[in-house]
């Protein structure tokens, strides 16, 4: 199972949530979208444990099955399509989550997230 990891599920994993730990242990690949990585780092800087949280994140990113997903030209096209779809449906979602969805679809991944607004994209395979 190849998963795209959303910010909230990374935090669950770090908090030793049994479901999050199980899913990440069973995944053959864990891909962290750049937008989720940016959200994590922004959150670290807003808190009192920035250095400790960054150290944990660095260890996580250095694992062999983990990699960061960056946007490409294909990602921008997927983003635009999703943006248009969400707008026409009247169901906007946060900008970073559109990037996460675009990368997940582009790479044929399963999105691991607790965010219910991803349900507005029925073509996006998700696990909660």
Domains and CATH numbers, the chain: 2-127 (3.40.50.1010)
Which residues are CB-neighbours of 87 under 8 A, at least 6 positions away? none
Q: Output the pTM of the full model.
A: 0.94
Tens of pLDDT along the chain (128 residues)? 999 999 999 999 999 999 999 999 999 999 999 999 999 999 999 989 999 999 999 999 999 999 999 999 999 999 999 999 999 999 999 999 999 999 999 999 999 999 999 999 999 999 98
Dist CA 119 CA 77 (whole Å): 20
Which residues are CB-neighbours of 77 under 8 A, at least 6 positions away? none
Dist CA 22 CA 58 (whole Å): 20
């Amino acid at each position: 199972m190849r998963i795209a990891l959303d910010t909230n599920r990374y935090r669950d994993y770090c908090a030793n949530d049994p479901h999050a730990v199980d899913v990440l242990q069973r995944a053959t690949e864990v891909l962290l979208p750049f937008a989720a990585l940016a959200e994590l780092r922004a959150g670290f800087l807003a808190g009192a444990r920035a250095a400790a949280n960054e150290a944990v994140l660095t260890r996580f990113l250095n694992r062999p099955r983990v990699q960061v997903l960056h946007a490409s030209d294909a990602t921008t096209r997927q983003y635009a399509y999703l943006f248009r779809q969400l707008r026409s449906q009247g169901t906007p979602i946060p900008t970073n989550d559109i990037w996460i969805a675009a990368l997940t679809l582009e790479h044929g991944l399963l999105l691991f997230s607790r965010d219910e607004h991803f349900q507005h994209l029925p073509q996006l395979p998700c696990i909660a």
